[in-house]
Amino acid sequence: MKAMNMNGVPERLVTVKEACAYLRVGRTKIYQLINAGKIVAYDRNGRTFIDLDSVDAYNAATLKRIPPKDCPEAQAA
């Protein structure tokens, strides 16, 4: 069963370790993103949890699509 917030919406909170795997970065980068305000973190009983919605928003804002002409696979074809 997923944890629910006060509005009955499922919480999308993960541990720092899970956030590292999700973003494919190390712990230091996660804490840099938290300290820079790029992703949202919460403390629960001394443990840090990351809001996955903020991680998804960070990804959407920072990912850049490579145009096909610059893609190595397109040049090889």
Contact between 21 and 51 (Cβ < 8 Å): no
Distance of alpha carbon 72 from alpha carbon 67, whole angstroms: 10
Beta bridge partners of 42: 49
Question: What is the structure's pLDDT at 15?
Answer: 94
For 69, what's the count of Cα atoms within 13 Å in the CB-facing half-sphere? 0
Look at strands 41-44 and 13-15 and give their pairing: unpaired
What does each of the 77 residues of the chain score in pLDDT, given as a tens digit?
Answer: 355 566 555 578 999 999 999 999 999 999 999 999 999 999 989 999 999 999 999 999 998 888 888 666 655 55
Question: What is the structure's pLDDT at 11?
Answer: 73
Q: What is the pTM of this model?
A: 0.71
Torsion angle of C-alpha atoms 52, 53, 55, 59, degrees rounded to 10: 140
